[in-house]
Structure 1
Amino acid sequence: MKDRLEALKAEALQELQQVASQQELNELRIKYLGKKGPLTEILRGMGALSAEERPVIGQVANEVRGAIEEVINAKQAAYEQAETENRLKAETIDVTLPGRPYAQGAMHPLNKVIQDIEDIFIGMGYTVAEGPEVESDYYNFEALNLPKDHPARDMQDSFYITEDILMRTQTSPVQIRTMESRKGEVPVKVICPGRVFRRDDDDATHSFQFHQIEGLVIDRNIRMSDLKGTLLQFVQEMFGKQTQLRLRPSFFPFTEPSTEIDVTCVQCGGEGCRVCKQTGWLEILGGGMVHPNVLEKGGYDPKEYSGFAFGMGVERIAMLKYGVDDIRHFYTNDLRFLKQFARK
């Protein structure tokens, strides 16, 4: 049995010297030291030995096991060291190379324009008010002097959820809600930004969903000249001090008198170009004096108080400010388009 152990040792060491991979090393470990290996088989036969032979054979078996394990462990350590060195070499970072900056996001141009408009009006003493996008027919139409079957409702083809609930077509309902919450207190100076929804064409200048910002001022002795002065300050801060304002008579059910507001063309400065159709003017918003019926619905006595209101489309302002010719660019999430505003 001693001779078998010595032969087994010689055979194992010879094979271990020829190992060329981690996998071969693991296979030899199982072959010689596993539960079904020759060394285990020899040790199981020690029961047939005499009492004097057992310790001698046991010592030789332990020496053989130890010699085989020593070579296997040494080769295992060598493979692990080589693997570590290869990984370190492959994953080495050259600290002398220039850094790789992460791509940073930027504010969406529409959000940027909304923020700019809010900043301008907050600087004039206004506060920001918000309201629900799913609105009742009363707040969206009736409280704004648009009773049922009023022909002016056709101007705002709507998304109805039920007979009396719809997606708001304008942010004007926030004005009524604000007046109700103030309970007749003055002054009222608010702007109301938010999304609105209409069954509109899907083309370069229209969308079924867009953003509006409306403003409302109520106090004693508010005049049309206050509206003009406020909007003149706004457009000059938004488009530049050279911008001029023009008011044209118009009709809105919730204001009387009503006006469309034009500004000198931001492209040609009023000289006339393709953008302004050679007129030198661009329409940007509408407004007027708050209709007495709307004041009453909001809880204000029109004999004592007066006010003005105005509304503008954020996309319209953004298109003029940035020279964008198609409203759909704002909604397609095309990074080639959005990246242009990262530094603006």
Structure 2
Amino acid sequence: MNLQVLPVLSVPGSLLHGSSMELTAEQHRIPLNDGNSIPVLGLGTYSSPRTTPKGTCLEAVKLAIDLGYRHFDGAYVYYNEHEVGQAIREKIAEGKVKREDIYYCGKLWNTCHPPELVRPTLEKTLKTLQLDYVDLYIIELPMAFKPGDEIYPRDTNGKFLYHKTDLCATWEALEECKDAGLVKSIGVSNFNRRQLELILNKPGLKYKPATNQVECHPYFTQPKLLEFSKQHNIVTVGYSPIGTCRDETWVNVSSPPLLEDPLLNSISKKYNKTAAQVALRFNAQRGVVVIPKSFNPDRINENFQIFDFSLTDKEMKDIETLNKNVRYVELLMWSDHPEYPFKDEY
């Protein structure tokens, strides 16, 4: 793989699509600012524990590894890290992959922000996964909740119980986890520019965030945040890269379903692809890591087939014009938190 062209991949907006040809199904890692690298396509593993039968995630991850996926995005609050870990360990035992082939991202939940809780929380994740380290560990949201056993702590009136947020102190605890070898890279999620700058400008900063995981897709292209992150050599990881479910209890459904978009569908016909594959290719070609979630075997396979075609400069620009600057995932229930990240322009 010609590493010389890789930095081009983080150019937001149009890019010489020839460079994107370097991404292949076998090798699609892009470099991080700490000397490590991250596969540009991963499998998201979020699902509702109430409605997902036991073992569904396990089988999905095993299939994904067989199909060529090497990057898995999980979290303590998904309640299925034990299944992800089991799938990875089974495939290692089969000789299908080695541990170093696999890239796992775990997340620090809002109730675990106090520095003294960070390492024990990561160690709990490692114990659940039964792995010695994770490849990436990120602060899931910049909003601290009251520590304790409740994932969503509330008072007797049902109001969320927040906690004083000190993102710099939490970050220092993450740096210590990296030094201890429990995690290869550290990053953040749902941070806006101001919150990223808080970390970047922290006195005595040891490691910059390697990644920032945010909502990113053709209807929400994040041009300003992408440009800022590129300037600071932070890789953007895009969640909901093909849109989201239409669950009105937590999704803003004012934007139409992304995959019904006429432009994406017309481009998809040209390449004999699907709208989802075009949306994923668009972000990958901009150097945005994509982590589409699916436990459907056909979809898991389909989402991986984005390395055998390339969008032209004009198609990239046309897709960029679809930006509505409206989020599907607004997290309005926490909009009164002092560190709620989505009030700022970016």
Q: TM-score, normalised by structure 1?
A: 0.22
Structure (1/2) with the larger strand percentage: 1
Structure (1/2) with the larger helix percentage: 1
Q: TM-score, normalised by structure 2?
A: 0.22
Which one has the largest radius of gyration?
Answer: 1
> Which gives a bigger RCO, structure 1 or 2 (Cα 8 Å, sep 6+)?
2
